[in-house]
């Protein structure tokens, strides 16, 4: 008996291939949507091309074997696994930027000192809430840095309230050492503030 006509091929091999194809194409699709949301417009179309090709292969096998209910299970299983794998991969590569907002009632001096020593850019604002006087720290970060910063926030200010929000873009100077040190400012940069004070 021909292997391609056997029950093993029909009930095991084809469903496994369909499931694998779905895992791959849904993983690519999940990453593509995430990349679009982060503004990576050049990478998304390339991923979309491969996603559709693989999907056509999988759906083609389904259409050729409509009477085989195992294929439907394999198709759905692959879709579910593909979503999970895509999200896990995106979390591992940690693309893009986030804005971390920290609100603390306790003095944030130790946290601020650590942020300064680590070279991170941040803005601190004195504010009032229903808790009373608070400090608000705004900090743009690369996503891969979030875990370290949050761990430090919890260490220095265990009861601080913080949020992490996705950001599509940040100004280039935020993550580059292109701020002009005071010693290297030209004369005009020093004169302008004095003129404004007058």
Tokens of 45: 């179309």
On whether both 137 and 84 belong to a single domain, the answer is no
Residue 124 CB neighbours (<10 A):
15
Under DSSP, the state recorded for 100 is E
On whether both 101 and 87 belong to a single domain, the answer is no
Give the per-residue pLDDT at 25: 92
Give the per-residue pLDDT at 49: 92
On whether both 112 and 74 belong to a single domain, the answer is no
In a domain, 134, yes or no: yes
In a domain, 181, yes or no: no
* Strands, E assignment, the chain: 97-104, 123-129, 132-142, 161-167
On whether both 86 and 12 belong to a single domain, the answer is yes
* CA 32/CA 87 separation, integer angstroms: 11
pLDDT in tens, the chain (198 residues): 565 666 777 778 888 999 999 999 999 998 888 888 777 778 888 889 999 999 998 888 888 877 888 889 999 999 999 999 998 988 888 777 889 999 988 778 888 899 899 888 899 888 888 878 888 999 998 888 888 999 999 998 888 899 998 887 666 555 544 444 444 444 334 434 434 444
CATH of the domain at 111: 3.30.70.120
- Domain boundary at 64, 93, 122, which? 93
Identify which of 85, 66, 53 has the alpha carbon closest to the alpha carbon of residue 14: 66
Cα 184–121–104 angle (5° rounding)? 140
Chain centre to alpha carbon of residue 27: 15
In a domain, 75, yes or no: yes
On whether both 76 and 11 belong to a single domain, the answer is yes
Number of domains within the chain:
2
The helix-helix angle for 14-37 and 69-93 (nearest 10°) equals 40
Helix (H, G, I), strand (E, B) or coil at 165: strand
β-pairing, 123-129 with 132-142?
antiparallel
Tokens of 162: 């913080």
In a domain, 81, yes or no: yes
On whether both 78 and 11 belong to a single domain, the answer is yes
On whether both 74 and 139 belong to a single domain, the answer is no
Give the per-residue pLDDT at 64: 83
By residue range, what is the domain housing residue 47?
3-93
In a domain, 170, yes or no: yes
Are the C-beta atoms of residues 98 and 166 closer than 8 Å to each other? yes
On whether both 163 and 132 belong to a single domain, the answer is yes
């Amino acid at each position: 008996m021909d292997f391609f006509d056997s029950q093993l091929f029909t009930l095991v091999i084809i469903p496994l291939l369909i499931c694998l194809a779905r895992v791959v194409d849904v993983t690519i699709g999940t990453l593509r949507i995430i990349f679009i949301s982060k503004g990576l417009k050049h990478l998304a179309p390339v991923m979309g091309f491969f996603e559709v090709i693989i999907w056509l292969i999988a759906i083609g096998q389904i259409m050729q074997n409509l009477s085989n209910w195992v294929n439907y299970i394999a198709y759905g299983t692959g879709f579910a696994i593909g979503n999970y794998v895509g999200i896990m991969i995106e979390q591992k590569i940690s693309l893009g930027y986030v804005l971390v907002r920290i609100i603390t009632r306790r003095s944030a001096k130790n946290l601020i000192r650590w942020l300064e020593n680590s070279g991170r850019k941040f803005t601190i604002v004195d504010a009032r809430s229903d808790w009373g006087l608070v400090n608000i720290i705004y900090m743009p970060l690369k996503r891969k840095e979030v875990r370290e910063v949050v761990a430090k926030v919890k260490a220095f200010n265990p009861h601080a309230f913080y949020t992490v929000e996705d950001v599509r873009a940040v100004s280039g100077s935020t993550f580059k050492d292109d701020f002009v040190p005071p010693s290297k400012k030209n004369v005009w940069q020093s004169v302008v503030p004095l003129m404004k004070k007058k």
